[in-house]
Amino acid sequence: GALAIDKTAPAISGESASRTDASNGSVTFTSDEAGKVYYIVGGEKPAQDALLASANVKDIASGETKIDLSGLGAEATNVYLMVVDAAGNRSDVKTVKVPVYLAKPTTITWVNNTATAMWNAVSGATSYKVYRATSKSGTYSLLGTVTATSYTNTGAKAGTTYYYKVE
């Protein structure tokens, strides 16, 4: 019988990215075929041939793959991916955006004898989530999301100690 020739290009789906800190993060995606993933961090979207010349190559199995990234800047950046299967078929080039890294607010200052907290603005932040718990290691529940660098906890009870965190 005739030998079947694989002419089906791999497909990339479910791509996402996350940050661990200002210079590290990861990209996760799913490929429907095993092969090699070629990737470039930053710059403009490359053509397939330019991506093939990239020094960033990793053997992958079909299914989900996570690529750890280091040396990132704090600003948002794109990662460009392409999977090539054993027969040389190439997927489309996918663009995955690694989000901007936002430091946590450093200090929370309390306005005397009130339930108002204030903190330093974080460069690049568009909002802050304020959480509260009744013990330091307790479960923190979201009180609200604010765009200002202060929050007044109107539901605080006098005589109760609360623990807060801002993200």
- Higher-pLDDT residue of 35, 130: 35
Residue 113's pLDDT is 63
User: Taking 90 as the threshold, does the pLDDT of residue 149 lie above it?
Assistant: no
What percent of the chain is modeled with pLDDT above 70? 90
39 Cβ neighbours under 8 A, 6+ residues apart:
27, 51, 54, 56, 58, 67, 79, 80, 81, 82
Nearest to 127 by CA among 108, 142, 149, 107: 149
At 107 the pLDDT is 61
Residue 141 backbone class (left: φ over 0; alpha: ψ -120 to 50; beta: rest) = beta
Query: Per residue in 51-96, pLDDT tens?
Result: 999 889 999 999 999 999 998 887 878 999 999 999 999 999 999 9
CA distances in angstroms from 61 to 7, 27, 29, 35, 49, listed in the order given: 18, 16, 12, 7, 22
**Average per-residue pLDDT in the chain?**
84
Beta bridge pairs of residue 97: 78
Interval 88-118: pLDDT, tens: 999 999 999 988 777 666 666 666 666 677 7
pLDDT of residue 108: 63
Name the 3-class secondary structure at 155: coil
How much is the pLDDT for 112? 61
